[in-house]
Structure 1
């Protein structure tokens, strides 16, 4: 199948995914922005007001700054969350496609990732606007969020390909996905800074790429700190390697999909 046809198929499934999620609702696609906003309000109240959390140690820190930093973390996390929750059912819910020899099955899990990337991109634009409103400054460093989204997509697609193939043989993956998302959310520095993690635990959590992706994005948007290009380069290389390995695993496992469905 030609690349142009694959891209068109991918676009079709992404649009279909958006429509299926909001079919029949009065607000339609507006829920794409409302859902993370509602989550932001809840998390900001619980952690920012009740527990008096802050991303800054200075007295000038405000609930608004914490809300923006939290929104950044949630936006990046949603890319991974969509992959973990959507990919396991992407193939087994469409058994007819497995019997089509010419159909590129990897499009099914990948489409669920890109729908999350689009939402995350919209949310990060909102974060930048809120940050500009708060500090009255704008810098070109915000453009680094583009490669951050690309890197996040690499990891998310790798996760989606592997989980979608594994769930064909092990349906328990679907049940475990919600617990995995919950564990990932609280272990990725969304509600706190990485330096607040006790050393023994950070030695483990530092291997989670989401910890670094969230931290870099937040430092750029909130504080306009210098960009650690070497860290971003390492994350990109590891993301590409994860994507290649996952793609090979998917191709290996898909040969027996028709027998397992």
Structure 2
């Protein structure tokens, strides 16, 4: 009864757009978010023979394919110094894949979050603003599995792990806020403009190649490097490689700036979502 009353109060109150409400909503509905993330993760592999094991083998398979294509066929090298092996290239490449994959999953799913949960809009008193958090939670679960694969590969192949790897969640924090901002905006926009779902797929594919996933920023001509740094994924990928692979500390000054930008993007998108959600039922 208490949980229902809480949802009823949330429904009846005016949809606040304040940064405080953005954080309070997560805390107020934390149990519901965790339960829905668990259901989504398990439901994705329900009925398959291997079940959750696919979350481990899928990134491993993609890593092997990308590594073969770029290091064997195209003979790409990262230029980290010394004798760079194919395994070194694979590990560095994998970090970029992990970061891009997290962002891409959130963005690609966002336009359908409300459309695929019409009952929550029309028939049930439900805090719709948590749906992007559920999508992010599911994406973070698979990201954690991929990181475990990465660290295990490093331990087996290089027989050591950099202590700076424990800082990776901190490096990832700005991306979490940016991904939530995109998710809130696209979830609301996708209700009114159904073509958004087609655009996001192309956008994330282009983003894969204009981010330093398959190459370092230093490989580009100087006149293009500045433009690439405007891509928020570029900072996260480069700093992620520092802490996960190279054993270097992240750039704290740039991290603070990126975190502030991420929070601003998240809050602006949350405000947009809260202001437009009143029209969801009319459109759906």
TM-score interval, normalised by the smaller of the two chains = over 0.9
What is the 5 A alignment of 1:3-42? 6-42=29-65
In structure 2, the partner of 1:206 is: 229
Distance in 2 (alpha carbons) for counterparts of 1:89 and 1:135: 42
Distance in 1 (alpha carbons) for counterparts of 2:67 and 2:163: 28
Report Cα offsets for 1:27-66 as digits up to 9, x if no partner: 1111111111111111111111111112225351110011
* Runs of at least 5 residues in structure 1 that lack an aligned partner in the other structure: none
Judge conservation of contact 2:162–2:243 (CA < 8 Å) in 1.
Answer: no
Are residues 1:142 and 2:165 paired?
Answer: yes
Judge conservation of contact 1:114–1:153 (CA < 8 Å) in 2.
Answer: no
Return the match for 1:168 from 182, 185, 191.
Answer: 191
Report Cα offsets for 1:193-224 as digits up to 9, x if no partner: 01112333333221111111011111222221
Return the match for 1:218 from 225, 241, 246.
Answer: 241
Judge conservation of contact 2:99–2:236 (CA < 8 Å) in 1.
Answer: yes
* Cα 1:32/1:189, change in 2 over 3 Å: same
Return the match for 1:65 from 85, 88, 94.
Answer: 88
Return the match for 1:190 from 196, 203, 213.
Answer: 213
More displaced 10-residue stretch of structure 1: 130-139 or 231-240: 130-139
Distance in 2 (alpha carbons) for counterparts of 1:218 and 1:103: 40
Aligned residues: 261
Judge conservation of contact 2:98–2:146 (CA < 8 Å) in 1.
Answer: yes
Judge conservation of contact 2:129–2:184 (CA < 8 Å) in 1.
Answer: yes
Judge conservation of contact 2:113–2:131 (CA < 8 Å) in 1.
Answer: yes
Judge conservation of contact 1:168–1:257 (CA < 8 Å) in 2.
Answer: yes
In structure 2, the partner of 1:246 is: 269
Helix, strand or coil at the partner of 1:106: helix
What is the 5 A alignment of 1:107-122? 107-122=130-145
Report the aligned-residue RMSD: 1.8
Higher relative contact order structure (alpha carbons within 8 Å, sequence separation ≥ 6): 2
Helix, strand or coil at the partner of 1:94: helix
Bigger Rg, which one: 2
Q: Give 4+ residue runs of structure 1 displaced > 3 Å after superposition.
A: 1-5, 132-139
Distance in 2 (alpha carbons) for counterparts of 1:204 and 1:139: 30
* Runs of at least 5 residues in structure 2 that lack an aligned partner in the other structure: 1-5, 8-24
Are residues 1:181 and 2:230 paired?
Answer: no
Helix, strand or coil at the partner of 2:116: coil
Query: Structure 2 length as normaliser, TM-score?
Result: 0.86
